[in-house]
Amino acid sequence: MNIVDLHNPQRINRKPDGVEVLFSSGNFVDQGFSIHRVELRLYLEKIDEKLGQYSLITSFVETDKGSVEMIYDEGFRGDDSLNHSVQFLTSNLGISGLVLRSIITLRDRIETPKS
């Protein structure tokens, strides 16, 4: 099961402009889900002359029961928005929150599949 949890999934219907792998060992288990990979993905959407690049940053969590990609952050965040987000996550225990949020989304979709 691959879930794209965005209001408009077409926003990420292409190769990301940047990817940072936060975790990829595949040895972590949380609430019965084996976590294989955690990434932040950058999609540049537009450039404003005054504000700069508009960035959509998504989190991608791959587990043994499926994957989830959802919005992590978006806006005019500067030229190095992906790296700033990675630094924030890794210095503030944010990876566990990302994983938990993704597991909740996966569990909800598994338990109540859409018809």
List pLDDT tens digits, range 24-79.
976 788 888 999 999 999 999 988 889 989 999 999 999 999 999 999 999 999 88
For residue 5, pLDDT beyond 90: no
Q: What are the extents of the domains in the chain?
A: 2-81+88-109
The secondary structure of the chain as a DSSP string is -EEEE-S-GGGGSS--SEEEEEE----EEETTEEEEEEEEEEEEEEEETTTEEEEEEEEEEEETTEEEEEEEEEEE--TTHHHHHHHHHHHTTHHHHHHHHHHHHHHHHHHS---
Say what the pTM is: 0.88
